[in-house]
Amino acid sequence: MHHNEQPTGNACNGSTREGGLVWRGCSASCDAEDGTTGAFDDGNSNPGDKLEGSDAAPDDPVHLKRRVGLFSGVALIVGTMIGSGIFVSPSGLLARTGSVGISFIIWMACGLLSLLGALAYAELGTMNTSSGAEYAYFMDAFGGPPAFLFSWVSTLVLKPSQMAIICLSFAKYAVEPFVAECEPPDSLVKLVAVISIVMILAVNCYSVNLATNVQNIFTAAKLVAIAIIVCGGAYKLILGNTRHLQEPNFASSKATLGNIATAFYTGLWAYDGWNNLNYVTEEIKNPSKNLPLSIIIGIPLVTLCYALVNVSYLAVMSVSEMADSEAVAVTFGNRLLGPMAWLMPLAVTISTFGSANGTLFVAGRLCFAASREGHLLDILSYVHVRRFTPAPGLIFHSLIAVAMVLYGTIDSLIDFFSFTAWIFYGGAMLALIVMRYTKPHAPRPYKVPIIIPYIVLFVSAYLVVAPILDKPQWEYMYAAAFILGGLLVYLPFVKWGYSLPFMDKITVFLQMVLEVVPTSTTFEY
């Protein structure tokens, strides 16, 4: 885990041969061509003060290239947010609240919270344009240990488990039409899920352009599916089917402090992905403009879609039918579409595949960013010499996701680690607030009102604390222990720089097999 250091005398525009391999790249401490130093210096010589980042050095042939434009940015946000959640989650949210009115309020509140959080992330992402999202912001604001703990939890649990559960949803809906009148066997579902992970991995390793094109196509397809649901609901409303919408049932609500928090988790699972564009800021064209613009277009679009879809569901189904349904969209299709009912399982399949593709696309960049700082295995920060994709990071995430799919206890992992995600979202808000004071003169092409990060920080604290107070469980302690357990890895391997003697040979072997080389980005003020 100890990061490779550049050999003595290695110039930015040169290359050094070591062990038969040509090592190329420009470290963050090298001087740029125009004579400016690589790191932004605020007088404290803090290595975390790498703020407004340029593209990779022009004389470095191996780096992540800026290929994600505005349309692809919106597609990445919309495509990863709209996964299986809106086709499945409405039933869980209704069951937890017992009220149509409160469930609608929570759906809209989840959208507003996602938008506010993403706008705050837009400031962070335009201030520090290196990939890695929360990891990069924690490095800037708090230093190494918090950033390492984030990469530790996200790399080993959060991102792979998210990928695994999306692919399991994809596999279930893909297999269901071929299995008559019974539940598809678990072994078949897992096999299809593993095949889908391998396919998505191949796409992302082959080309960034191919991955973004796949994302664009599948995002367009899932918006068509949502349009079918909305049009079907509108048709029923025109016919006068409004009785389920006329009784918001506020009085019959069974919402408690903890229930509302867990209902938020259910809704926020459908909105998850609002921060994904920040993981790939090094690959966004003109990030100071396109990052906030993608957020401002993408998240309200998703919120509007979700509102219209929920209204459409209630135009066709009763509250009890919706709450009892395991897959609301499929029930909707069976009720309304007749012989075309197969469109709904197909829509969920398309939606989940696109969401899984976007999830892996950003997860590989987190590995890349953390490894480049020496917080993960060196090989994970390497880039393919011709395709310029972070192939080792993508492969690493996919292997963990496959293991989780085969192990099969994803739901319990998600239940008790979803609250840890909001610990980190809250931490990012705190990082923004802290850097307003510690780095007041840092370049901020986009700046949000300071009240926004305070609101998201307060809501994050509520979402973390309320379920624990309402229903204490040992699993929350296990999750917290896992997070803090990362320090047992951080201290010897990162802080003290201990390196296992055989790791260099493994790194060189993998480098030759995968055809990848180290790279680094030059940061200029």
The domain locations on the chain are 70-515
Classify burial at 54, counting beta carbons within 10 Å of its beta carbon; exposed 0-12, middle 13-18, buried 19 or more: middle
Looking at residue 20, its pLDDT comes to 33
Residue 384: its pLDDT value, please?
Answer: 81
Secondary structure class of 312 (helix, strand, coil): helix
The two three-digit tokens of residue 356, written as one number: 């899984």
CA distance 415 to 83: 18
Q: Could you give the CA distance from residue 516 to residue 353 in angstroms, rounded to a whole number?
A: 27
Predicted pLDDT of residue 426:
92
- CA 522, CA 481: separation in Å to the nearest integer? 36
pLDDT at residue number 251: 52
> Domain 70-515: what homologous superfamily?
Amino acid/polyamine transporter I (1.20.1740.10)
The reported pLDDT for the residue numbered 112 is: 92
pLDDT value for 55: 43
> Please, are residues 514 and 391 in contact by the beta-carbon 8 Å criterion?
yes
Nearest to 45 by CA among 37, 53, 36: 37
Q: Which pLDDT belongs to residue 199?
A: 94
Residue 525: the pLDDT is 31
Q: How far apart are the first and last CA of the chain?
A: 29
Tell me the pLDDT of the chain (525 aa) as tens digits: 444 443 333 333 333 333 333 333 333 333 333 333 333 333 333 333 333 334 443 444 445 566 677 888 888 888 888 876 777 667 667 777 777 788 888 888 989 999 999 999 989 988 887 777 888 899 889 988 998 998 888 888 888 888 888 888 888 888 877 776 677 788 888 999 999 999 999 999 988 888 888 888 888 888 888 888 899 889 888 888 777 676 666 555 566 666 777 788 778 878 888 888 888 777 788 888 888 899 999 999 999 988 898 888 888 887 777 777 767 777 888 888 888 888 888 888 888 888 888 888 888 888 877 887 788 887 888 888 887 888 888 999 899 999 988 886 555 555 556 677 888 899 999 999 999 999 988 888 888 999 999 999 999 998 888 778 877 777 778 778 888 888 898 888 888 878 888 888 888 888 888 888 777 543 333
Task: Give me the helix-helix angle, 503-514 and 391-407, nearest 10°.
Answer: 100
Contact between 15 and 61 (Cβ < 8 Å) = no
Residue (of 232, 519, 216) closest to 382 by Cα position: 519
CA atoms within 13 A on the CB side of 238: 6
Burial letters for 406-423: b for 16+ Cβ neighbours within 10 Å, e otherwise?
eeeebeebbebbbbbbbb
Q: Can you tell me the distance from the alpha carbon of 56 to that of 82, in angstroms, rounded to the nearest whole number?
A: 32
Query: Rounded to an integer, what distance in angstroms lies between the CA atom of residue 146 and that of residue 381?
Result: 19
